[in-house]
Amino acid sequence: MTADKKKLARLNRLEKLRAIAKQSAATEAAQAESTLSQLRNLSDRTRRLASDYAARRDAADGGALHHVGRFVNGLQTLSRTTDGDALRAQSIADAKQQVLAEAERRRAAIEDRATAQARRIASKAQPTLLGARRTIGTDLD
C-alpha cells in the first residue's frame, strides 16, 4: 500500500471517528433540549395552577383562605425555582448545540481532506495524455 493510500485510509478512519463524536454530541444536545422543554412545561403548568388557585373564591372561612394562600405561595415559589432551572438548562442546551456544531465542522473538514486525497490518488493513476505534447517544427515540414 502506498503512502497516499495509507493516508487516505487514515483519513477515512478519522472521519468515522468524527462521525461517531458528532452522533454523541447530537444525542447529548437532544437530551439537553428535552430537559429544557420538560422544565419549561413544568414551570408553565405550575404557574397556571398557582393562578387558578389564586383566583378561587370558594373558601368557607379564614382558615381555608389561609391554606389556599399558602398553597398558592408554595406553587409560585416552585414556579420561580423551575424558571431558574430552565434558564440553566437553556445555557446547557446552547453549549451542547455549540459542541454539536463544532463536531460537525471537524467531521466535514476531515471529509474534505479525505475527498481531496482520493482525488490526488485518482489523478496520479490517470495515464499521461500523449496528445497533449507540443508539436515541433512548422506546418511546412
What backbone torsions phi and psi does residue 129 show, to the nearest 5 degrees? -80, 125
In this structure, are residues 46 and 79 in contact, taking their beta carbons and an 8 Å threshold?
Answer: yes
Tens of pLDDT, residues 66-99: 888 999 999 999 999 999 999 999 999 999 999 9
DSSP 58: -
Across residues 13-29, what is the average pLDDT?
A: 96
Output the pLDDT for position 137: 67
Question: What percent of the residues of the chain are helix, what percent strand, and what percent coil, each to the nearest 5?
Answer: 85, 0, 15
CA–CA gap between residue 54 and residue 48 (Å, rounded): 10
CA–CA gap between residue 56 and residue 96 (Å, rounded): 42
Residue among 33, 42, 47, 45 nearest 89 (CA):
33
CA–CA gap between residue 21 and residue 138 (Å, rounded): 63
Does 28 score more than 80 pLDDT? yes
Range in 98-107, 110-119, 122-131 the model is least confident about: 122-131
In this structure, are residues 68 and 56 in contact, taking their beta carbons and an 8 Å threshold?
Answer: yes
Does 19 score more than 60 pLDDT? yes
